[in-house]
Amino acid sequence: MEFSHKSVLLDETVQSVVTRTSGVYVDGTLGGGGHSNEILKRLTADGLLIGIDQDAEAIEAASNRLSEYVNKRIVRNNFENFTEILREQGIGKVTGIILDLGVSSHQFDDGERGFSYRIDAPLDMRMDQRAGKTAADIVNTYSESDLYHVIRDYGEDPFAKNIAKHIVAAREKEPVLTTFQLSEIIKGAIPAKIRQKGGHPSKQTFQALRIEVNRELSVLEDTLTAMIDSLEEGGRIAIITFHSLEDRIVKNAFKTAENPCTCPPEFPVCICGKKSKGTVITRKPIIPSEEEMNENPRSKSAKLRVFEKHTGK
């Protein structure tokens, strides 16, 4: 299956982050290479792009797409290892970083990957297929309490308790191994009245499992400070999120980087000594135009936030 992914907020992201045409840029979620291609178009011969992705199919697709450019390096890894990757590449500071979070269109549409509740497939959901734990492992081995917390916290599903209960009851009869199997169980856990009104009943649980399998939120939370610290003076980081949990992490990380002071508000002067690392460029997130939302419905929930590094404030 050909790797296809329509890059969301393409121009807005690249324009926000490319501040110097001879700079060093990192695309931490390379995917099909859409954002990287636009960055490379703008770079001079002494500029450099480092593309990172954990998905083997994405690496192959992006390598083919970007084959005409010599000033690129493509690395199969998780952006959580960002600092080590830069060290291995002999890079100190970088000019810009892009993260386009979530799942690519290709991963959703590839029937074998198990990301979609609309295609019957093994319950996998690993972005890096070298990783050990699959969605099936979680569904069949987590306790009812742990399943409840995953679905509630990462899927924000009001029926999380009932869904977890139904999963545990179903797996006692036979292992839950496919997307359609799980979808039927979820459907049975949600009242018919609610199912008729809302979207697909499996949407939030599938999101929750995907986040748990790939540790998406903890990876993001644990990496943002290192990424901001790696920026050169005036360098920028631009992050596209697709749900409120990711967006909250990015918003809070940028806000703290801009104003890290922990002194009580009644203190007349700061004594904690924590200095601002820069400025939040996007006071409100940039969202796709109506035209883009119509052309690419998956872009509807996208939000872009940008931070610029300044030291010595």
**258-274, pLDDT tens digit by residue?**
999 888 888 888 888 89
| Alpha helices, H only, the chain | 10-17, 34-42, 56-65, 82-88, 105-109, 135-141, 144-155, 160-173, 179-189, 192-197, 203-214, 216-230, 244-258, 290-295
Euclidean distance between CA atoms 231 and 237, whole angstroms: 8
Residue 237 pLDDT exceeds 60: yes
Shared-domain flag, residues 98 and 231 = yes
Q: Two tokens at 36?
A: 């990287």
Question: In this structure, what is the dihedral angle of CA atoms 13, 28, 56, 154, given to the nearest 10 degrees?
Answer: -90
What pLDDT, on the 0 to 100 scale, is given for residue 109?
A: 67
Among 198, 214, 230, residue at a domain's last position: 214
Beta bridge mates, 236: 96, 308
Shared-domain flag, residues 299 and 259 = yes
Shared-domain flag, residues 73 and 136 = no
2 within a domain of the structure (yes/no): no
Among 214, 233, 262, residue at a domain's last position: 214
> Do 213 and 138 meet the contact criterion of CB atoms below 8 Å apart?
yes
For strands 278-280 and 303-309, give the pairing.
antiparallel
What pLDDT, on the 0 to 100 scale, is given for residue 159?
A: 95
Q: Two tokens at 73?
A: 């390096």
What pLDDT, on the 0 to 100 scale, is given for residue 107?
A: 67
Shared-domain flag, residues 280 and 291 = yes
Shared-domain flag, residues 100 and 238 = yes
36 within a domain of the structure (yes/no): yes
260 within a domain of the structure (yes/no): yes
Among 187, 214, 241, residue at a domain's last position: 214
DSSP 118-129: TS--BS---SST
Average pLDDT over residues 26-44: 96
CA angle (81, 4, 56) in 5-degree steps: 35
Domain count, the chain: 2
% pLDDT > 90, the chain: 78
Shared-domain flag, residues 229 and 206 = no
> Do 113 and 121 meet the contact criterion of CB atoms below 8 Å apart?
yes
199 within a domain of the structure (yes/no): yes
Q: b/e per residue, 253-268, with b = 16+ CB within 10 A?
A: bbebbbeeeeeeeeee
Please give the residue range of the domain that contains residue 179.
111-214
1 within a domain of the structure (yes/no): no
242 within a domain of the structure (yes/no): yes
Provide CB contacts within 8 A for 297, sequence distance 6+.
none
Alpha carbon 122 to chain centroid, angstroms: 22
Q: What is the domain-level CATH number for residue 223?
A: 3.40.50.150
Task: Render pLDDT for 173-204 as a digit per residue (tens, 0 to 9).
Answer: 999 999 999 999 999 999 888 777 767 899 99
What pLDDT, on the 0 to 100 scale, is given for residue 110?
A: 66
Average pLDDT over residues 90-107: 88
Question: In this structure, what is the dihedral angle of CA atoms 213, 160, 242, 291, given to the nearest 10 degrees?
Answer: 130
68 within a domain of the structure (yes/no): yes
Low-confidence winner among 60-69, 268-277, 284-293 (lowest mean pLDDT): 268-277
Task: Render pLDDT for 116-149 as a digit per residue (tens, 0 to 9).
Answer: 898 999 999 998 988 789 999 999 999 999 999 9
Shared-domain flag, residues 210 and 225 = no
Q: What is the domain-level CATH number for residue 168?
A: 1.10.150.170
Average pLDDT over residues 148-170: 97
Euclidean distance between CA atoms 14 and 128, whole angstroms: 26
Element (H, E) at 99: strand 94-100
